[in-house]
A and B are shown apart, each in its own frame.
Chain A
């Protein structure tokens, strides 16, 4: 016969139980929320890089126009 401690150890798996649906929903919500700022950050960087390229191209175009007009 098992002693009291072994009895509880052996029966522990009986307690395994699926939690309610809301647990996954809450967890998923928290995980999505934690992912969002990173995505926003990446998007901000992408937009910033594109804006910088456009600005440099505009600057180059203005300089080309300016020097060609002078000569």
Chain B
């Protein structure tokens, strides 16, 4: 079955196609939610809401770009909404003191388990973690992140630098 045929079945609200999509993509989309939300329960709640939107708004997928990317964006928005609901997003750090051009290179050669990676991300303050996820793992630009979170581009940049700094220190403390 082609992707177009599969999308047609989804547009017709075919339950078997919905289950098929869930089985295929839920591990990936759940991982996306987990990276933004510390609590597993909140991540699952965001996943349910996100996938419900995917199924109910399937006809708004224009076909431009990948279907996976479209779903991922919806789920990221749901995770951000859930994050804001649980506590207001705070962006700590004085961006005036940071040198944005100073992209110091820090190489990592470590074999970390999924649990260790999540623990590292969970140790970041919400602001750092959200910007880090959006920029590094979702591939958004600072301008897009600033628009999504209602912050300035400089704040987005400073949160990323501070996240990198914090992760570097955490990895060093672990001996990497």
Please list the residues of chain A having a beta carbon within 8 angstroms of any beta carbon in chain B.
1-5, 7-9, 11-12, 14-20, 22-24, 26-28, 30-31, 34-35
Task: Report the bound CA distance from A1 to B111 in whole Å.
Answer: 12
Q: Is the CB of B31 within 8 A of A2?
A: no
User: A12-B31, A18-B30, A27-B22 known; 12 other A-B pairs, CB under 8 Å?
Assistant: A2-B107, A3-B106, A3-B107, A15-B31, A15-B34, A17-B114, A19-B27, A19-B43, A19-B47, A23-B26, A24-B19, A31-B13
* Majority secondary structure, B binding face: helix
5 closest A-B pairs (Cβ-Cβ)? A1-B107, A15-B31, A16-B27, A7-B108, A14-B114
B8-43 vs A, CB cutoff 8 Å, 1 = contact: the mask equals 000001010011001000111011001100000001
B108-131 vs A, CB cutoff 8 Å, 1 = contact: the mask equals 111011100110000000000000
Task: Report the bound CA distance from A38 to B107 in whole Å.
Answer: 56
* Interface presence of B153 (CB below 8 A): no
* Interface presence of B143 (CB below 8 A): no
Q: Give B38 Cβ to nearest chain A Cβ, in Å.
A: 14
Partner of B137, one of A9, A26, A34: A9
Contacts A4-B168, A14-B114 hold; do A27 and B52 have CB atoms under 8 A apart? yes
Task: Report the bound CA distance from A26 to B112 in whole Å.
Answer: 33
Q: Give B31 Cβ to nearest chain A Cβ, in Å.
A: 4
Q: Is the CB of A31 within 8 A of B48?
A: no
Interfacial chain B residues near A35, Cβ < 8 Å: 13
Q: Is the CB of A7 within 8 A of B52?
A: no
* Interface presence of B164 (CB below 8 A): yes
Partner of B52, one of A1, A9, A12, A30: A30
* Interface presence of B66 (CB below 8 A): no
Task: Report the bound CA distance from A24 to B47 in whole Å.
Answer: 10
Interfacial chain B residues near A4, Cβ < 8 Å: 106-108, 164, 167-168, 171
